Structure 1
Amino acid sequence: MGQRLPARRGGISVVAALGPHRMDSSHGFRVHGTSGAAGRRVEGLPPLKPASPDKEGPVHHDQIAIDVPTVQSLIRQQFPHLMREPVSYLPSTGTVNAIFRVGDLLAARFPLRRTDPDELAESLRAEAGAMSELAGHSPVPTPTCVGLGRRGDSYPLPWTLQTWIPGSVATPSGLAGSIRFADDLVRLILALRKTDRHGRTFSGGGRGGDLPDHDGWMEHCFEKSESLLDVARLRLMWGSFRELPAGGEDVMSHGDLIPANLLVDGERRPAA
């Protein structure tokens, strides 16, 4: 491959991240947008330990309070077959959703910021469809949506219930020299590129598109990185990348293929 794969561990554990992107010879594949992740276990985290998602104070000015008793009540009302399963809050660095374990096999995701319930419900249904499509084409396991929760008296928005994928969350080090992991990652990328677009095309927003379109953002990053990185060398690299010709038609790709959205078991990716 010419260089070592950046240190990444595990398999993808995100939703609504499958979308059409245009390849070029600098990236190999295009990505755009981001999506919250769930269905993952942080290595070393005690299982099923109740906690409060806002015990250190809210992150957003319009953040919705959600705790274990509220989740238990919603599950009891809407998914009574799961009412005896233990529920626990999963500490996370994410700021979009509060995630709760439901037994050993499921995870519940609750949006934290107030928004229009009907628009959110439509978005969550689309997200569930994307999860199903990703699972149908990924060579490694991926979480799938098993239920769409309704808003209730104690929580004002729709929410989702999905399968739990065991494994350890990626870190910035650990598998940089793993050929087995690199092979698994390549298999995933190639499998998604072969997925039928069903007429969909790259939206032009977020990550991806033509590299020169990102000159403004890259300049901002260079200016902010002067004291951290060899910016002169990076500018030269960017200048050569942005002049490479486009490499083909739009393809499907994972929209947020970063370490935090990967899980691993040993040197293999158990989930995507």
Structure 2
Amino acid sequence: MIIDADLVRTLVAEQFPQWADLPVRPVAVGGNDNRTFHLGDAMSVRLPSAEGYVASVAKEQRWLPVLAPHLPQPIPVPLAQGRPGAGYPWPWSVNRWLDGDTASRETITDLTAFAVDLARFLAALQAVDTGGEPAAGEHSFWRGAGLHHYDDETRRAIAALDGQVDAAAATGEWEAALAAEWHGEPVWFHGDVANGNLLVRDGRLAGVIDFGTSGVGDPACDLVIAWTFLDAASRSAFRTALRTDDATWQRGRGWALWKALILLAADAGHAGAAAQIDLILATAARAVRR
């Protein structure tokens, strides 16, 4: 299916004629789960790219306005929900546009300060009370649920990568993460805290986007960025500011290991994933020695 600016113009003109004269153009940095377009200067249009991502539309429409007033940085706020049309088969959203550059080592002034800001954002997110809904599950791709949902996939990846990674160490770290079971009360999690979903302005965290895998459950999945983006000093500051206990940190490392393993198994040339696995295992070894 081709999801392009022409399709968006047609959908907007048919369903929201008050915005039909606004220019439509793709965003500079797009994602895989959704296709996003500028609608004028103050709005964006977000369309799921496959059926598996459709559940996020209703979820974001329902919950993002609930979350936004409680968070220290802005998040997308839905302005309208579109319906299938013009050959596009799924619902879609019009959101308020958030200004900012994608987080990177070049756009961030102080990585430790950034990590602390992010930790405070996540702490505020976890503090929002929703009565246990939307509970983690298929709609969140099991983020916020138990790591056992990805046990078979992880073990297959370790077996396939034997010789490229330390299979014994990876298995031991994965099993330690499985054993560090979560027994807390369910809290809000974002589900995909990656630098591509974090916005920076004037060198500081300025917004958080893409809540498609969000929900209520175990927040350990939101720690992955500690090993995929932060350095040693900012990783320590992130953990301290978030007041993360040992078991949750262990599960977070498990989530990071799972993602890096499946990426590397799918693409043997994925140097970034290989480096992340080395870092995850190294930090695990240091934690054991302490």
Amino acid at match of 2:67: L
The sequence identity of aligned pairs, in percent, is 30
**Residue 263 (structure 1) aligned to one of 199, 202, 227:** 199
The 5-angstrom pairing of residues 196-211 of structure 1 reads 196-200=129-133, 202-203=135-136, 205=138, 206-211=142-147
User: Which segments of 5 or more consecutive residues in structure 1 lack a partner in the other structure?
Assistant: 1-62
Moved more, 155-164 or 200-209: 200-209
Higher helix share: 2
Look up the match of 1:79: 16
Structure number with greater CO (CA < 8 Å, separation at least 6) is 1
* Partner secondary structure for residue 169 of structure 2: helix
Superposed, 1:1-272 pairs within 5 Å as: 63=1, 65-90=2-27, 94-113=31-50, 124-153=57-86, 155-171=88-104, 178-200=111-133, 202-203=135-136, 205=138, 206-212=142-148, 214-226=150-162, 228-244=164-180, 246-272=182-208
Q: Which residue of 2 aligns with 1:5?
A: none
1:220 counterpart letter in structure 2:
R
Q: Distance in 2 between matches of 1:222 and 1:96?
A: 26
Contact 2:61 2:78 (C-alpha < 8 Å) held by counterparts: yes
The two structures, once aligned, show a CA RMSD in angstroms of 3.3
Q: Distance in 2 between matches of 1:168 and 1:89?
A: 15
Distance 1:93 1:82 in 2: 22
| Deviation readout 1:26-54 (Å, 9 max, x if unpaired) | xxxxxxxxxxxxxxxxxxxxxxxxxxxxx
Q: 1:118-166 CA deviation, whole Å, 9 max, x = no partner?
A: xx5x863332112222313221100111111233345444321111112
Aligned residue pairs total: 205
SS at match of 2:129: coil
Q: Which moved more, 1:252-261 or 1:242-251?
A: 242-251
Deviations 1:175-200 (A, max 9, x none): 69722111111111211221113143
- Deviation (angstroms), 1:93: 5.3
TM-score by length of 1: 0.62
Q: CA deviation at 1:107?
A: 0.9
Distance 1:211 1:154 in 2: 38
Contact 1:201–1:250 (CA<8 Å) still a contact in 2? no
* Paired residues of 1:131 and 1:143 also in contact (CA < 8 A): yes
Q: Relative to structure 1, is the Cα distance of residues 91 and 201 closer, same or farther in structure 2, using a 3 angstrom cutoff?
A: closer
